[in-house]
Structure 1
Amino acid sequence: MVGVIAIIVSLGLLMYLAYRGITVLVLAPILALGAAFVAGGADAHVMATYTETFMKAFANYCKSYFPVFLLGAIFGKLMDDSGSAKAISHAIAKKLGGDKAILAVILACGILTFGGVSLFVVAFAVFPIAMQLFKEADIPKRLIPGSIAAGAFTFTMTALPGTPQIQNAIPMPFFGTDAYAAPVLGIIAAICMFAGAVVWLNFRVKKAKAAGEGYGNHPNEKIVEIDEKNLPSLGLALLPIILVLVINFIFSKFVFVASRYNGDYLKDYGTKLATVSGTWSLVIALVISIVITILLNLKNLKNPKESVNQGAIGSLLAVVNVSSEVGYGNVIQSLAAFTIVKEALLGISSNPIISEAVSVNVLAGITGSASGGMSIALGVLGKTYLEAAVQQGINPEVLHRIAALASGGFDSLPHNGAVITLLSICGLTHKDSYADVGMCSVVIPVCTLVLIVILATFGVV
C-alpha cells in the first residue's frame, strides 16, 4: 500500500510542479527516484534505478524518435523563416475574409500542422494574421487562442491519417502500423473535432456580439503588417507540405512493405520491418521535403544554414523532455506496487480499446503532454494491449488511432506547456481564454474519442 501511495503522490507532484513552471528535466528523475526509494525502502537501489532503468528508457526513446523530432523541427523552422507558413495563412485569410475569421484561423493552423509544421511554429505564424482578422471583424481577441488550439492541437495532431505530427508516429513501432492507420476512424474523428470547434467558437462569437463585446482594447498590442511581396506564392508554400504527405504514403504503402522489401536482415538488429517501416517512411519524407523547401526558397531564406541549425537545436528540448517523462514512467513501472496500478488500468475493461483510451488520456493529463503520456502508457502497456487485440481479433491499426486520439484530450489541461505558450504568444491569460481552449482541445476531443471507441468496438477501421 505504501508503494501505491508513493506512486500517486509522485504523479500528483509531477502534475502540480510542472504547472508551477519547474522543468520536467529536473522533476522526472527526482520524483521517479523518490517514489522508488519510498516504495522500496531499504531494498531500493536508487543509483542503479537511475542509470539502468531511467536512463536506459530515456536513451531508447531518443533512439526511436529523435529523427522525427529533429527533422520535424527543422522543417517547421524552414517553413517559418521562408515565409511559407505566413503565405498559407495569409492566403486562406484573404480568401475567406474577416467575416469567416474563425474558420480561416482553424483551416490555416490545420493545413500547417497536417503538413508537418510544429504546433509552436504554427501559433507564432498564424497569430499576427488572426489579430488582423479578428480586429477587422470586431471579434473578441480572447477567442484567438481557442481558434488556434482547434486547428493545431486537435484533428491534425491526432486524427487525420498521414499526419506527420509525433503523436501519430509514436504508436507505429508498438503496433507495427504506419501513419495512415485506421483511416475511416481517423477521418470521422477529424470531422467531429473540426465541426465541433467551428460550431462552438461561432456560438461564442454570436454570444459576445449580442452582449455588445467587440475585439477589445489592448494598448500593448502591436499589429504586424504582412508584406505580401516578400512572401512565396501559395503554390510554392504548399508544395513541401504536399510532398511530406505524398512521399510518406508512397514509402509506407508501396516501398517498405513485406511483399516488396526484403527486411530479413533486420533480425540481425533485433527488430523487424513492421516495427521500423513507418518511422523510415516519415524520415525520408521529411528529409526530401526539407531539401525541396530550401531549394524553392533560396531567395526568401536569409540564412538557410542558420534556420537548419536553430530548428535542430530547438528539437533537443522537446525530445529530451518527452524522453525524461518516458524514463519516469519506466521507473514507476518497475516498482512492485505498480502491478496493482496496472491491474486497475487493465481492469477498466477487458476490451483493450477502452482500457487504452482511458490509460493514455489519464497519463497525458497527468504529464501535461500528449506525446509524453502516450509514450509512458504504450511503453508500459502497449505489448499487453497488442496481445489482447490479437486474441480478440482487433486490428492493430485501431489501437494506433485510439492511442493517438486519446493523447489529445486531457493533455491540454491548464498545466500543458503548449497551452501556456499559446496564451503567452497571444498576450492573454488562462482567465481570458482557457474556457474556449479547453472546450476545443479537451472537451470536444474527449467526446469524439468516446464516439470513436464505440465505432471501433463495432469493427470500424
Structure 2
Amino acid sequence: MIGIIGLICAIAVLVIGAYKGLGALPLTILASLVAIVTNVMPLWDSFAVHYMKGYTSAYMSYFLLFASSALYAKLMDESGCATTIGYKFIDWFGKKNIMLVTILIVSVLTYGGVSLFVVVYAVAPIMFLLFKEANLPRHLTMACLIVGSATYTMTTLPGSPQLTNVVPTEYLGTTMTAAPILSILCAIGIFSLCLAYCTWAQKKAVARGEVWTYPDNIDPTLFEVKDRSLLPISWKAFTPIVVLLLIIIVGGKFVSNSNMLATSAMLVGALLTFLLNYSKFKGKDWTEVLTNGLGGGISGIGGLAAVLAFGTVVQSSAAFTNIVNWVLGLNMHPYVRGIFATSVFSGITGSSSGGLRLMYQSLGDTFINSGVNLDVLHRLTAIAAGGLDTLPHSPGLFLMFSVLGLNHKNSYRHVFACSVCIPVIVCVVATVACIVLGV
C-alpha cells in the first residue's frame, strides 16, 4: 500500500512540477526518486539500470523515426510548403474559420508524417500569421495544435504514422490501418466534438475582448509573409504528404515493420520536398538546415525518453507488479481490460506511446491468447492511450508551450477538454458499441 501511495505521490510530483515550469528530465528524476524511496528500491541500480534502460530504449527504438520526422518538418518549413498549405486552407474555408483552418493544417502535417513532438516547429509560424490576421488570442493556438496533433490523427485515423499507432503493431502483429471502419467513425466523433469546443472557446475569448499578442522576445517580422507569389505552388506542397501516406497505406500490406515503414516514408517525403522545391533551397545554409532539422528529433525524443525512463522505474517497483496483477485479476472483457490498463499506464507515464508499450509488455501475450479481435483491440487501446496521456506532466506539452510562449496556467484547459475528456468519451462509447455488437 505504501508503494502504491508512493506511485500516486510520484505522479503528483510530475503534475505539480509541470505547473511550476520544470522540464521533463528533472521532473522524471524527482518523481522516480519518490517512487524508488517509497517502494524501498536500490537507489543506484534504480537510476543507473532501470531509469537509463528506459531512457536509452526510446533512442534505440525511435530515434530514426523522430530524426526523419524532424528533418521532414524542417524542409517543409524552409521550403515554404507548410505556409502554402496554410494559405490554401484559408482560401478554401475563409478567415472567419481560422480555428478550423489551423486544426486542418496541423492535421494534414501530422497525418502526413510529421511527429507531434516536432510539428509545433513547423506550424508555429503559420499559426502566428493566421491568428494575427484574425486577431485571436494566442492561447487558442494550443487548442488547435493539440486537436490536430494529439487526438484523431495520432490515435484514430487508419494509416497514421504516429508512434501511438505504431506501437500496437509491434506487439499484436497488426497493421497501421487496423479496424478502418471503427477508426473512421471514432475519428469523426473526436473531430466533431473538438471542433465544437474550439468554436465555443473562440466565442468566449472574443466576448472577453481578448486579442492577439506575440510571445515575449519574438521578432514579429519573422512571421510575416509579404509576397505569397514567392511560396511554392499548391501541388508541390501537398505532393510529398500524399506520397508519404500512400507509402504507409500500400506498404503496410507488404512490410511488417511499421517503424521502418514510417521512417522510410518520411525520408521519401523529405526528399520529394527538396526535389520539388529545389529553387527554394538555393542559398540556404545547409549546415543550419541539417543541424536544426535532425536536432529537432533529438529534442523531441528527449521528453519521451525521460517519461519512458520514469515508466521503467515504475515498472520495476513492487507496487507496479501489484497493479498489473490487480488488472489481470479483474473479471473484464478483454477490450475493457485493454483500454483500462492503457489509460492507467498512460496516465502514470504521461505518454500515449509509453503507456502502450508498458501495457503490451505486461499484457500483450494475454490478449493474443484470448482470441479477441486484435485489430479492434489495436484501435481501442490506441484511442485510450490518447486520453490520460496528456495530463499536466505529459512531456509533449512542455515542448509545445515553450515554442508557443504559453504555459499550463493559461492554456492547459484547452488540452484537458480536447485531449483528455473527448478521447475518453469516444473511447468508452466505441468500446461499449464493439462489445454489444460482438465485433
Pairwise same-fold verdict (TM > 0.5): yes
Moved more, 393-402 or 138-147: 138-147
Secondary structure, counterpart of 2:389 in structure 1 = helix
Secondary structure, counterpart of 1:383 in structure 2 = helix
Deviations along 1:251-291, one digit per CA (max 9) or x if unpaired, are 211x23xxxxxxxxxxxxxxxxx5xx222322222222222
1:106 aligns with 2:84: no
Q: How many pairs were matched up?
A: 433
1:283 aligns with 2:263: yes
Deviations along 1:209-255, one digit per CA (max 9) or x if unpaired, are 5x4736367797837322323321111111111121111222211x2
In angstroms, what is the RMSD of aligned CA positions? Answer: 3.0
1:436 corresponds, among 411, 414, 433, to 414
Describe how 1:438-457 pairs up with structure 2 within 5 A.
438-457=416-435
Distance verdict in 2 for CA 1:30–1:380, change over 3 Å: farther
1:116 corresponds, among 113, 116, 124, to 113
Distance verdict in 2 for CA 1:362–1:3, change over 3 Å: closer
- Please report how far the alpha carbon of residue 72 of structure 1 lies from its aligned counterpart in structure 2 after TM superposition: 1.6
Deviations along 1:341-364, one digit per CA (max 9) or x if unpaired, are 113333555223222222322333
1:74 aligns with 2:54: no
- Give the whole-Å Cα distance in 2 for the aligned partners of 1:115 and 1:196: 22
Distance verdict in 2 for CA 1:291–1:305, change over 3 Å: farther
1:410 aligns with 2:392: no
- Give the whole-Å Cα distance in 2 for the aligned partners of 1:333 and 1:219: 39
**1:3 paired residue number:** 3
Distance verdict in 2 for CA 1:52–1:101, change over 3 Å: closer
**1:298 paired residue number:** 278
- Please report how far the alpha carbon of residue 426 of structure 1 lies from its aligned counterpart in structure 2 after TM superposition: 4.0
Aligned-partner residue type, residue 401 of structure 1: R
- Give the whole-Å Cα distance in 1 for the aligned partners of 2:137 and 2:295: 36
Distance verdict in 2 for CA 1:58–1:174, change over 3 Å: farther
Deviations along 1:387-410, one digit per CA (max 9) or x if unpaired, are 4xx42x322222222222122222
- Please report how far the alpha carbon of residue 32 of structure 1 lies from its aligned counterpart in structure 2 after TM superposition: 3.6
Aligned-partner residue type, residue 315 of structure 2: Q
- Give the whole-Å Cα distance in 2 for the aligned partners of 1:60 and 1:125: 27
**2:86 paired residue number:** 89
2:161 corresponds, among 139, 164, 173, to 164
Instruction: Assess if the C-alpha contact under 8 Å between 1:97 and 1:133 holds in 2.
Output: no
Distance verdict in 2 for CA 1:364–1:189, change over 3 Å: same
1:215 aligns with 2:193: no
- Identical aligned pairs, as a percentage? 35
**1:367 paired residue number:** 349
1:225 aligns with 2:205: no
Secondary structure, counterpart of 1:409 in structure 2 = helix
- Give the whole-Å Cα distance in 1 for the aligned partners of 2:119 and 2:60: 27
Distance verdict in 2 for CA 1:219–1:296, change over 3 Å: closer
Instruction: Assess if the C-alpha contact under 8 Å between 1:364 and 1:373 holds in 2.
Output: yes
**2:289 paired residue number:** 307
Aligned-partner residue type, residue 102 of structure 1: M
Structure 2 runs not aligned, ≥5 long: none
- Give the whole-Å Cα distance in 2 for the aligned partners of 1:152 and 1:194: 11
Distance verdict in 2 for CA 1:16–1:358, change over 3 Å: farther
Instruction: Assess if the C-alpha contact under 8 Å between 2:13 and 2:30 holds in 1.
Output: no
- Give the whole-Å Cα distance in 2 for the aligned partners of 1:158 and 1:33: 31
Instruction: Assess if the C-alpha contact under 8 Å between 1:326 and 1:375 holds in 2.
Output: no
- Give the whole-Å Cα distance in 2 for the aligned partners of 1:206 and 1:61: 41
Moved more, 434-443 or 74-83: 434-443
Secondary structure, counterpart of 1:300 in structure 2 = helix
Secondary structure, counterpart of 1:11 in structure 2 = helix
Distance verdict in 2 for CA 1:18–1:377, change over 3 Å: farther
Deviations along 1:52-82, one digit per CA (max 9) or x if unpaired, are 4443444444333222122222212221222
- Give the whole-Å Cα distance in 2 for the aligned partners of 1:219 and 1:63: 35
- Please report how far the alpha carbon of residue 17 of structure 1 lies from its aligned counterpart in structure 2 after TM superposition: 3.1
Instruction: Assess if the C-alpha contact under 8 Å between 2:19 and 2:408 holds in 1.
Output: no
Instruction: Assess if the C-alpha contact under 8 Å between 2:307 and 2:395 holds in 1.
Output: no
Distance verdict in 2 for CA 1:237–1:305, change over 3 Å: farther
- Give the whole-Å Cα distance in 1 for the aligned partners of 2:213 and 2:27: 39
- Please report how far the alpha carbon of residue 208 of structure 1 lies from its aligned counterpart in structure 2 after TM superposition: 5.2
Deviations along 1:356-394, one digit per CA (max 9) or x if unpaired, are 22232233334333333333333333333x24xx42x32
- Give the whole-Å Cα distance in 2 for the aligned partners of 1:143 and 1:285: 32
Distance verdict in 2 for CA 1:173–1:199, change over 3 Å: same
Distance verdict in 2 for CA 1:337–1:200, change over 3 Å: closer
Aligned-partner residue type, residue 278 of structure 1: S
Instruction: Assess if the C-alpha contact under 8 Å between 2:110 and 2:153 holds in 1.
Output: yes
- Give the whole-Å Cα distance in 1 for the aligned partners of 2:102 and 2:295: 28
Deviations along 1:102-145, one digit per CA (max 9) or x if unpaired, are 22111111111111123355434444444454454555554332
Q: Which has the larger radius of gyration?
A: 1
Secondary structure, counterpart of 1:229 in structure 2 = helix
- Give the whole-Å Cα distance in 2 for the aligned partners of 1:45 and 1:205: 51
- Give the whole-Å Cα distance in 2 for the aligned partners of 1:29 and 1:49: 11
Instruction: Assess if the C-alpha contact under 8 Å between 1:78 and 1:304 holds in 2.
Output: no
Instruction: Assess if the C-alpha contact under 8 Å between 1:12 and 1:366 holds in 2.
Output: no
Instruction: Assess if the C-alpha contact under 8 Å between 1:181 and 1:398 holds in 2.
Output: yes
Deviations along 1:397-443, one digit per CA (max 9) or x if unpaired, are 22222222122222223343433444444444545443333222222
**2:359 paired residue number:** 377
Instruction: Assess if the C-alpha contact under 8 Å between 2:72 and 2:270 holds in 1.
Output: yes
Structure 1 runs not aligned, ≥5 long: 257-273
1:401 aligns with 2:401: no
- Give the whole-Å Cα distance in 1 for the aligned partners of 2:39 and 2:108: 47
